[in-house]
């Protein structure tokens, strides 16, 4: 790797961006052999608008959340030169995540035949640099697909894996099906030593009030996911911020309002969102683009732009 980047990953990047919505119903065209296939699910896409070829990042939403709640985070990452795609995997779902694993595999397979047709004509996705990420239950889904343990996999190779406060149930012994965690250290056998970033929230293990349980309970959260990762793997935990603090400032509708009180939260969302976005950018720049400048500065605690206090930090080489 080389250390050459001058950009602060925690600030907005240099690329102008746009936010696109690809809906299967509105994307459908007359049945012609030359027509590109519509996406299997509704997609929210943050993309640079300047001419170029850009790596692709898939972001899977948390339980009962909307992909639109991540638009500010997506635009942050995209402004550093990435195409970020967030599918709406479901509106209502039970505890089982098998349908989400299957749908994610189908969407990734669609990327190679459909994505390019719906992006600005001057923008080209580089699918040889594909990262899979997910928040909360979406983090579990991302790990499940990358591990290829449950009968579903994608034709495209996943080059990097990111869990944003991933959760595998309501507590140890209460995992949601199919269980991903095995409680065996270093047991995640990912293809080609796939690099992994796991981000945790310091307040995720704390219940918001006596009526609600913690949103990222001990025994099924970021610590457990990182413990089972093999190297190279990185683990950052943000102190004094909660499980949903990386969402947009203004999340609309009933679910959006509930997201402000369902979990123990920090004072505001912007610092945690910038931390998550900047950490993701630094990680992707290192492992997809070969530029580890920002990641090394975070590791060495010499990065002056980190917007939160890092409570825990671990690396597996």
Active site residue 76: no
Q: Report the C-alpha gap between 74 and 95 in whole angstroms.
A: 26
Q: Report the C-alpha gap between 200 and 136 in whole angstroms.
A: 10
Active site residue 201: no
> Catalytic residue among 78, 136, 201, 279, which?
136
Of 187, 97, 106, the residue nearest 134 (C-alpha): 97
List residues bridging with 131 in a β-sheet: 57, 160
Q: Tell me if 244 sits within 8 A of 259, measured CB to CB.
A: yes
Q: Tell me if 278 sits within 8 A of 309, measured CB to CB.
A: no
Q: Report the C-alpha gap between 142 and 35 in whole angstroms.
A: 30
Active site residue 292: no
Measured in whole angstroms, how far is the alpha carbon of residue 21 from the centre of its chain? 18
Neighbours of 127 (CB within 10 A): 17
Measured in whole angstroms, how far is the alpha carbon of residue 207 from the centre of its chain? 24
Write out the DSSP string of 200-255: EETTTTS-SBTTB--SS-TTSSHHHHHHHPPSSEEEEEETT--TTTTS-SS--HHH
> Catalytic residue among 165, 168, 224, 245, which?
165
Write out the DSSP string of 48-100: E-SSEEEEEEEEE--TT--GGGGHHHHHHHHTTT-EEEEE---SS--S--HHH
> Catalytic residue among 154, 243, 248, 279, which?
243
Q: Report the C-alpha gap between 78 and 9 in whole angstroms.
A: 11
Which active-site residues does the annotation give?
A: 136, 165, 243
């Amino acid at each position: 790797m080389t250390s050459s980047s001058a950009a602060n990953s925690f600030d907005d990047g240099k690329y102008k961006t746009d936010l696109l919505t690809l809906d299967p119903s509105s994307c459908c065209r007359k049945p012609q052999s030359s027509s590109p296939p519509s996406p299997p699910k509704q997609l929210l896409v943050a993309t640079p608008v300047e001419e170029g070829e850009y790596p692709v990042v898939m972001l899977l939403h948390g339980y009962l959340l909307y992909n639109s709640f991540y638009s500010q985070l997506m635009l942050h990452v995209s402004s550093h030169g990435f195409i970020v795609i967030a599918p709406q995997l479901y509106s209502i779902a039970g505890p089982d995540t098998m349908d989400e694993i299957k749908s994610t595999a189908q969407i990734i397979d669609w990327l190679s035949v459909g994505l390019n047709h719906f992006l600005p004509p001057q923008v080209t996705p580089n699918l040889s640099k594909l990262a899979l990420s997910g928040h909360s239950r979406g983090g579990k889904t991302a790990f499940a697909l990358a591990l290829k343990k449950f009968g579903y996999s994608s034709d495209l190779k996943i080059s990097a894996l990111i869990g944003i406060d991933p959760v595998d149930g309501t507590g140890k012994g209460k995992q949601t099906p199919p269980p991903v965690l095995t409680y065996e250290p270093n047991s995640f056998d990912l293809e080609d030593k796939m690099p992994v970033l796991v981000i945790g929230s310091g307040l995720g293990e704390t219940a918001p009030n006596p009526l609600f349980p913690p949103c990222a309970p001990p025994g099924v959260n970021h610590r457990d996911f990182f413990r089972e990762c093999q190297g190279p793997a990185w683990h950052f935990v943000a102190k004094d911020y909660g499980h949903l603090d990386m969402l947009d400032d203004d999340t609309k509708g009933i679910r959006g309002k509930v997201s402000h009180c369902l979990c123990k939260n920090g004072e505001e969302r912007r610092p945690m969102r910038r931390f998550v976005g900047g950490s993701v950018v630094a990680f992707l720049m290192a492992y997809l683009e070969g530029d580890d400048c920002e990641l090394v500065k975070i590791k060495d605690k010499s990065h002056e732009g980190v917007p939160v206090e890092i409570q825990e930090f671990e690396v597996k080489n």
